[in-house]
Structure 1
Amino acid sequence: MRILMVSPECAPFAETGGLGHMVSGLTKALANRHHDVRLFLPLYGFIHPQNDWFCHRDIPVYMGQKVETCQVYEASQNGITFYFIDAPNYFKDNAIYVDGPYNGERFAFFCRAVLDSCRALQWTPEVIHCHDWATGLIPVYCNTLRSCHPISSAATVFTIHNLQYQGIFAPSILSFAGIPFSEFHSTSLEALGQVNLLKGALYHATKITTVSPRYAQEIQTTEFGCGLDHVLRFKAGDLIGILNGIDTDVWNPETDPLIPSHFTSNNLIPKEECKKSIRNQFHLPHTPAPLLGVVSRICWQKGLDVFANVLPYLLNNTQLQVVILGTGDRNLENQFRSLEQPFPNQVRMISQYDSELAHRLQAGCDLFILPSRYEPCGLAQLYAMRYGTLPIVRATGGLADTVQSLNESDETGYGFVFSDLHNDAIYNTVHWAYRIYNEKHNLFQKMQKTAMEADFSWERSSAQYESVYQWAFNQRG
């Protein structure tokens, strides 16, 4: 099948988090399944064309008020053709997203440039897979241009990665983009007097996916629907949740070049060397206590404010050591950092994003916590389990779909799950994990082995996406 991926992010070229990793992993898996997969991405200011990239010059882009041009750089990697839209007026910034209405114009241009570039390159996909609000105009274009643009016959699949981010702009963006003003109504792009790009995509896409089955159900409720739950209930027949996978070549404790010692589910002894390395780097004493890690954006969504409130009590009552890696809410970062002085042998806060250190923490920790208020899928808990680091999570979204909580009576499960986000729930669940590590270490190691052997590769998920593509193609045709 001819599949076109369109995304504002794709690792390793441009990424801010899970979206870029998901797009990269799924695209690679589909190429391995012998599809003709091509991917469009903006050429941001921080992406530098390589000498072997071919440049398609002066491609016309038919915006609403004028015809503009762009260049398209073409590169091949792992059986995938990558196209980078080079338009310095829109993407010279060294940032994927910027503030203000200009951000809407950037991605409106990107969406139209993708369609017009396919026409210029004389390649027509059967399915266009669009990711998040930044690509939301593509399904709209495909419906409104259907009689006059060859690519508009393609089926569109739109994936919601995080419903909170919707792409809301003034109505003037419609004339800029060349979208008929007749689409400015409540069952298309209009929302509270503004243009909502994600809402338009939901109404116009052939099929809709989210990144976990649980999240697909949650976003149809008032609590998690971010004002669009009525749209998602209306479109429920075209909505499906598919779990993200992880790239098991990149995240592999047997071969990972970023960790100091390699290990397997059958031989966890070298994992201790990874823990020693973390303790040495951050001057933590070597004790029998478990090491708990956080690798996350430091923000309200992740529930880390509640964890920060509970952490002093855990540190007072246990010998637990905690290393937190991430950036975000400065006040919350400082709250964690303030614990370093009263608990110098137990806490470290590292305010940065460091891919190598993320790998080393996933490999070197015994436990990992992600107490999210909501979590569309989450990849960090999957990485942790791949490295035998047992997750402590709240039962929401993809966390509920991927982490099976320990049942002590029959010794099944490979994580520690709680339901309500409050102080007592986090305290008790972390203390439970601490007790199992200290008092039932054989059970703890059995859980590690089970977690490492769970299949969260892209193989199963990519097969599900194949089915969705065929479903969409058959309906569009």
Structure 2
Amino acid sequence: MHVIHLSAECYPVAKVGGLADVVGSLPKYLIEEGVKASVVMPKYRNEWTENHEFKTVFEGDAPMDTGKIFYSIQREKDDSLGFPLYVVDIPGLLDRPGIYTDPHSGSGYWDEFERFLGFQIAALDWIKDMKKKPDIVHCHDHHSGLAPFMMTQCFRYDELKRIPTVFTVHNGQYHGAYDRWNDRLIPDFNRGNAGMLDWNGKLNCMAAGLKCAWQISTVSKSYMDELCEHSNGLEPLFRNERAKSRGIVNGIDTDVWNPKTDTYLDRHYDVRTRKAGKASNKKKLCKRFGLDPQYPTISYIGRLAYEKGADLLPNLFRNYLSSQHSVNFVVLGTGDPALHEQFKKMSNQYVGYFDAALDYNEKLAHLIYAGSDFMIMPSRVEPCGLNQMYCMRYGTIPIVRNIGGLKDTVKDLDEEGGYGIKFQHFDFYEAAEAVWRAISIYGQPKIMSGIQKKVMELDFSWNASASEYIKMYNQITIN
């Protein structure tokens, strides 16, 4: 079986969120299971692409409105990611430093629709030219949502109609919605089927993917349920397409996320040596932030954004920092400028108990996973979530809201076989109670050590998830 993934992101080539982590890991594990898998993505002008060599495997041009785009498909020479990586180079359209936004201005690119449409057209042109076509074209999020439509509706791609497509929703809040007149940029198709592109009077790329793909998947079972109730206006469509939908929880790359071999850590450890290993990393972490390692340390890693529930954190942390309870809080992330200001003030106000690194720092993130006692994720929306799996791999206990992938991957301590702390509603008092439970557990060393052992022994690797994807692929190719 041969699967080609189309995606705007792929770690470590270009990353904004969890989409990149999935696309950068899943193909490698599919290959381990005997599936031929590769990734096609835009060639951005960034440090990674400039430091790797590529070989052109296909060139062509395609109509777009009254003009043409000229493109090339290039393969990374060394296959350094563990799978073949192909990039679409379209001079003047994709070769920019940002993925979705201009890093110099912070604004989104004005021609976003043309950029990702061009990427998909070039990829499909190349697939059309292949002597042996792939068995599956797997599209990820709205940036590749037009591919299933073009494969079934555009005259240019008539010979691709019978290739099954999978459309995976990583974040249902972002649809890729544009003015309807943009459909003139798409290669010719039967205008009687233009409704396949439409949702509420807009050209909606996610809606097109949902309507036209053979199979829909998302990154956890609970998130698939939630999309039918909360998906920024697409709820009726998700409900209507439910029969061809399923949720498959993401995995993590256990080669990268392994406290025994992690190149970002000075002190390595495993389940057996967790006590000394975590203590050493906690000491280093607390020294980095000026904290006392004898106190429980609760951390947050992620975007400081509404969806992540980061706006709950300042008052939640102040509630304990202003009390008699001795506890450390650490924040790593960027986002809302108002939250940046609040955390800066708190760093000065609660010296020795709170600090924040308001940037993206991969090395520091690994140290926080290893050195923290607890990791909090109060998300409003969490399709799957990877941080809870990362932190458990490092013996750090998750404190999470019972939603989406957090619901599917964390079992509360009050449940049979539980190992985490969950709260139900996005509510200050429920979150405060969850933090209090964590502090109480920290005061019971034997119980704390037992939970750490349990979370480190859980298997969140991609192997199980890859097997579920293969089952899905087999079902739609047989049918």
TM-score range, shorter chain: over 0.9
Q: Which residue of 1 aligns with 2:454?
A: 450
Structure 1 residues 52, 310: CA separation in 2 closer, same or farther (over 3 Å shift)?
closer
Offset at residue 243 of structure 1 (A):
0.2
Q: Percent identity?
A: 32
Instruction: Give the RMSD, CA atoms, in angstroms.
Output: 1.7
Matched residues in 2 for 1:123 and 1:292: separation?
52
Are residue 81 (structure 1) and residue 63 (structure 2) matched?
A: no
Are residue 401 (structure 1) and residue 408 (structure 2) matched?
A: yes
Offset at residue 119 of structure 1 (A):
2.8
Are residue 56 (structure 1) and residue 57 (structure 2) matched?
A: yes
Are residue 296 (structure 1) and residue 302 (structure 2) matched?
A: yes
Are residue 270 (structure 1) and residue 272 (structure 2) matched?
A: no
Matched residues in 2 for 1:52 and 1:304: separation?
39
**Which digits, 9 at most, give the CA deviation of each residue in 1:43-86, with x for residues without a partner?**
00114356752123532334454443211211224552211101
Matched AA of 2:371: G
**Residues 308-387 of structure 1: matches in 2 within 5 Å?**
308-317=314-323, 318-387=325-394
Are residue 426 (structure 1) and residue 434 (structure 2) matched?
A: no
Uncovered stretches (5+) of structure 1, i.e. residues with no partner:
none
Q: Secondary structure at the match of 1:130?
A: strand
Instruction: Please identify, of 144-153 and 2-11, the stretch whose mean Cα deviation from structure 2 is larger.
Output: 144-153
Q: Which residue of 2 aligns with 1:26?
A: 26
Are residue 116 (structure 1) and residue 125 (structure 2) matched?
A: yes
Q: Secondary structure at the match of 1:175?
A: helix
Of the three residues 415, 421, 445, the one matched with 1:441 is 445
Q: Which residue of 2 aligns with 1:464?
A: 468
Q: Secondary structure at the match of 2:412?
A: coil
Instruction: Please identify, of 53-62 and 28-37, the stretch whose mean Cα deviation from structure 2 is larger.
Output: 53-62
Matched residues in 1 for 2:407 and 2:52: separation?
45
- Do 1:146 and 1:152's aligned partners in 2 also have CA atoms closer than 8 Å? no
- Do 1:141 and 1:179's aligned partners in 2 also have CA atoms closer than 8 Å? no
Q: Which residue of 2 aligns with 1:219?
A: 227
Q: Secondary structure at the match of 1:172?
A: helix
Structure 1 residues 150, 38: CA separation in 2 closer, same or farther (over 3 Å shift)?
farther
Matched residues in 2 for 1:386 and 1:179: separation?
50
- Do 1:184 and 1:195's aligned partners in 2 also have CA atoms closer than 8 Å? no
Of the three residues 139, 142, 145, the one matched with 2:151 is 142
- Do 1:145 and 1:152's aligned partners in 2 also have CA atoms closer than 8 Å? no
Structure 1 residues 265, 234: CA separation in 2 closer, same or farther (over 3 Å shift)?
same
Q: Secondary structure at the match of 1:358?
A: helix
Offset at residue 315 of structure 1 (A):
1.3
- Do 1:49 and 1:73's aligned partners in 2 also have CA atoms closer than 8 Å? no
Offset at residue 31 of structure 1 (A):
1.1
Structure 1 residues 350, 299: CA separation in 2 closer, same or farther (over 3 Å shift)?
same
**Which digits, 9 at most, give the CA deviation of each residue in 1:195-221, with x for residues without a partner?**
000001100000000000000111111
Q: Secondary structure at the match of 2:203?
A: strand
**Which digits, 9 at most, give the CA deviation of each residue in 1:91-130, with x for residues without a partner?**
1221111325500110011111100022335441110010
- Do 1:336 and 1:349's aligned partners in 2 also have CA atoms closer than 8 Å? yes
**Residues 165-314 of structure 1: matches in 2 within 5 Å?**
165-178=174-187, 180=189, 181-185=191-195, 188-221=196-229, 224-268=230-274, 269-286=276-293, 288-314=294-320
- Do 1:374 and 1:397's aligned partners in 2 also have CA atoms closer than 8 Å? yes
Of the three residues 100, 125, 133, the one matched with 1:97 is 100
Offset at residue 137 of structure 1 (A):
0.5
- Alignment TM-score, normalising by the size of structure 2: 0.94
Matched AA of 1:207: Q
Offset at residue 264 of structure 1 (A):
1.1
- Do 2:397 and 2:451's aligned partners in 1 also have CA atoms closer than 8 Å? yes
- Do 1:146 and 1:153's aligned partners in 2 also have CA atoms closer than 8 Å? no
Q: Which residue of 2 aligns with 1:164?
A: 173
Matched AA of 1:328: G
Matched AA of 2:187: G
- Do 2:154 and 2:187's aligned partners in 1 also have CA atoms closer than 8 Å? no
Matched AA of 2:75: E
Offset at residue 422 of structure 1 (A):
1.1
Q: Which residue of 1 aligns with 2:104?
A: none
Give the length in aligned residue pairs.
Answer: 467
Q: Which residue of 2 aligns with 1:131?
A: 140
